[in-house]
Amino acid sequence: MKCPRCKSSMQEQKRTFHKQRKWICPKCGYVRFQQQKDERGKK
């Protein structure tokens, strides 16, 4: 995944937040959450 701001590669955080992967850009600090494809217990 690349940062929409500076187009640099984002780093994935190991911690998941509400079953979403957290990506952080090391350059500008842009944070993005990516929903995981594996959906269980869908409401």
User: What residues line the site for Zn ion (CB under 5 A)?
Assistant: 3, 5-6, 25, 27-28, 30
Which residues, 6+ apart, have CB-to-CB distance to 42 below 8 Å? none
Residue 25: burial class (beta carbons within 10 Å; 0-12, 13-18, 19+):
buried
Of residues 29 and 41, the one with the C-beta less far from Zn ion? 29
**Shortest gap between Cβ of 8 and Zn ion (angstroms)?**
5
For Zn ion, which is the closer residue by CB, 1 or 28?
Answer: 28
Using the minimum distance from each CB to Zn ion, give the nearer residue, 3 or 23: 3
